[in-house]
Structure formats: C-alpha cells, structure tokens
Structure 1
Amino acid sequence: MLKIWGRANSINVQKVLWCAEELGLPYQRIDAGMEYGVVNTAEYRKLNPNGLVPTLEDGNLVLWESNAIVRYLAARYGAGSLWPTDPAVRADSDKWMDWQVSTLWTRLRPVFWGLIRTPPEKRNAQEIETAYQKTREAFAILDQALAGRQYVAGDAFTMGDIALGVAAQRWFNLPVERPAAPNLEAWYQRLRERPAFSKIVDHPLT
C-alpha cells in the first residue's frame, strides 16, 4: 500500500491523492506539515530532507516533489490513461505540469496565501493585486490553449490536468473577480464531475 505524507488541504498533496484516487490505488495518508508538524522530525527528514510535503513511500521507493510523484504513479500504474503512450501527447501533458509549477503557481500562490491564509490586518494589498493581475494573464493563456480541447493534452484526461486542476480549484474559489474564460470554465466543470476530484480537491479553501 502506498504511504502518502501530507495534510489534506495542501495543493501539492492533493495532486498526489487525486492521482491515486483516479488510478484506484490503495493508500494511507499521514498528516504532516503546518499545524501537524512532523516534517522537522529526524524520521521525516530522512525521507524528505526538504521538510516539505508530500512524500510518497511505495515499497522501497521514497519520492518527493509532487509533480514527480504524479508522473511516477501515472507511469507505473496508469500507462495508456494518465500517462499517455503517444510521446507527443505525453510531452504536451508534461509541459503543462512544468508550467503549473514555474508560472501559474508562482503567480497564484501570493493571492491564495494573501486572501485565505493571512489575517486581513497583515495582508500586503499591493503584493496581492500585482499577483492577481499576473494570475489573470496566466489563466488567459490556459483558456486559449483549451480552445477545441476537452483536456489540456487533447480529448483524454491526463496527468497534466491533475497539476493544473488543483490550481484552478483555488482560482475559482478565491473571492476575486474572474474575467470570462469559456474554455477554462468548461474544462473546470468537467474536472468537477470526476468523483476523485470531488472527493479530494473540491472543498472550501483553508
């Protein structure tokens, strides 16, 4: 059985849990991070020297970095579905996973943390506004890319949708104005119809 370390409301932990649910994999989740502590213990640091979540244990394999874990699970347990067999389709899906980490989340994170996890009196309004404008631009890119597509790599749901979907859930639940984005909105509704997304991701922001 897989062992997944990390709190359930972590965006990166949710990627891994959602992936495992989509693949029907049995797993044990162990609370770690923020209010749960654990990540600074000697035991945990042997698994993940960064002291972050998630960390995956699959037999003798110990793996950290959420997108790397999703890729591993998709490749080992979801070849032909979450892990496309066509190298071009797989690369397209993989591209969006990298973009989620390098571009989208770096812009969205200050908005999310500022509005959800920071008390009003401690918020940096200018930082939030700047990040918000950049986040709008990023989601406009995704909206354009989804034109004529059901999912980010084509007609089938893949690992790339998992990485982007957890970020989109934050965006669509933040108390901010969102410009019309018909392709993005339709894609997000398709994600919401997936039982695994509903179970793991689609919850109030905390």
Structure 2
Amino acid sequence: MKIYWIKAQAPRRVLALIKHLGLKAECIEVDLMAGGLKTPEYAALNPNMKAPTLVDGDLVLWESAAIMAYLCIKTGSDMWPAHNPSEQVEVLRWLSWSDCHWGPAVAPFYFEHMVKSTFGIGPPDSALLKASVAELVKFAKVLDGHLAQRTFAACERLTIADFQLASMASYWRESAMSLEAFPHIVRWLDVLQRIPAWADPWPAKASAPAITTY
C-alpha cells in the first residue's frame, strides 16, 4: 500500500490514522514546490492533482475521508463504523459539516497566518480576517455546543470525524482563531493533541507548518 502525501492538512489526517492504527504503508512525499502534483504520472492517479492519494493493489483512491474510511475497513477499526448504519450516518454528518461549513470557516485564518508565513508570500490580510470572524464564530458555536457533554465528535469515541474536524483548527493559537470563547472546542483539540499519532503524524520530521489542501 502506498500513500502519496504533501505536508498539508488533508494528508495529515490520513498519515495520523496510519500511525494510530499501526498500518504498514509506503508513504511517498510528493515534491509540491517542484510541481510533483502536476506531473502526468501523478495526474493519472489523482486527476484533481492534489493529495493524498492511496494506491493499494489495483485500487486507487483519493479524498482523505474516503481513504480514512477504507483504512478503517481494511483493519477492522471502529473509527469508521462499517457495521453500524446509524453510527455511519453520525460520522458522515460531521464529515460533511466539516467540508461544507467548519473547514471553510477556519481556512482563512490558517492560510493567512500559517501558509503565508511558510512560503513568505506576505503578511496576513487583516481586512479579510476581520470579515471572516463572524463565520468562524457562527460555526464554532455549533461545534462547541455539540461538544459540551462529549469528549469526541461522534459515536462517543474517537472516529475519523475527529481527525477531519480538527485538521486546521489544531493550529488555532498560531492562526489567531478566536476560539478562546469556546472552551469545549479547546478541550477537545487538546485531548486530540495528546494522541501521539495526531500530535506527530508526519513520516519524517519537518519544522515548517503544514499547508492546506482540499
């Protein structure tokens, strides 16, 4: 099994899960800056020319949530509830909510503070960030309320929904996200950070912060 990755948040979820489940996989870092995602060979695997991509025998799979579900099915992990339809729906709800609402709400802060700093492409756009606060707060209220009596996002245990939701938000302090007013989110993120595979998912040490990809 091969995982093609770059140091970005979508691959981070998959790499963290691989470590957490103790899976053996060949993790191949694609040279983003050299255009590795746009080569004909890579585009043949992933026509979106993004990462991650999984290759397992004849199966080629992209999109981090689908890859995470596949890895759980492959190993029998209940982080994706393959045999419980009601739990599947619950996990799917939070995966969808993350992609449609939470991810876009936190992305401007992550990009402006982390990505720009990493690649030296200018200071944060303060006007853009000011305009983004309302959307962040709107959806932070939803997640914080949901987590008020919960340790994890779904099924009363760690699932792939947690890894999906936590990606860019894990950098909330560095990205100046206004999450101090949402103690349940902060507690949840801190709990996840104590999971070794989540805290250090990368196959090799690197000092630069991750960039975002979808």
- The whole-number CA distance in structure 2 between the counterparts of 1:78 and 1:131 is 40
Aligned pairs for 1:178-197 (under 5 A) are: 178-197=179-198
Task: Assess, with a 3 A threshold, how the Cα gap between structure 1 residues 136 and 204 changes in structure 2: closer, same or farther.
Answer: farther
Task: Assess, with a 3 A threshold, how the Cα gap between structure 1 residues 120 and 69 changes in structure 2: closer, same or farther.
Answer: closer
- The whole-number CA distance in structure 1 between the counterparts of 2:209 and 2:99 is 19
Task: Assess, with a 3 A threshold, how the Cα gap between structure 1 residues 131 and 162 changes in structure 2: closer, same or farther.
Answer: same
Instruction: Give the aligned partner of residue 11 of structure 1.
Output: 9
- TM score, norm. by length of structure 1: 0.88
- The whole-number CA distance in structure 1 between the counterparts of 2:181 and 2:153 is 18
Q: Which runs of 5+ in 1 are unaligned?
A: none
Instruction: Give the aligned partner of residue 62 of structure 1.
Output: 60
Displacement of 1:112? 1.3
Displacement of 1:144? 0.5
- Of the two structures, which has the highest relative contact order with CA contacts closer than 8 Å and spacing of 6 or more? 2
Indicate the percent of aligned positions where both proteins have the same amino acid: 27
Task: Assess, with a 3 A threshold, how the Cα gap between structure 1 residues 12 and 178 changes in structure 2: closer, same or farther.
Answer: same
Task: Assess, with a 3 A threshold, how the Cα gap between structure 1 residues 55 and 114 changes in structure 2: closer, same or farther.
Answer: same
- The whole-number CA distance in structure 2 between the counterparts of 1:55 and 1:138 is 29
Over residues 131-190 of structure 1, what are the superposed CA-to-partner deviations in whole Å (9 max), with x where a residue is unaligned?
233122212211111121121113211111110121321324313443322221221121
Contact 2:179–2:186 (CA under 8 A) maintained in structure 1: no
- The whole-number CA distance in structure 2 between the counterparts of 1:78 and 1:159 is 13
Equivalent in 79, 82, 97 of residue 79 of structure 2: 82
- The whole-number CA distance in structure 1 between the counterparts of 2:178 and 2:105 is 16
- The whole-number CA distance in structure 1 between the counterparts of 2:113 and 2:133 is 11
Instruction: Give the aligned partner of residue 137 of structure 1.
Output: 138
- Please provide the CA RMSD for this pair: 2.1
Q: Which runs of 5+ in 2 are unaligned?
A: none
Instruction: Give the aligned partner of residue 29 of structure 1.
Output: 27
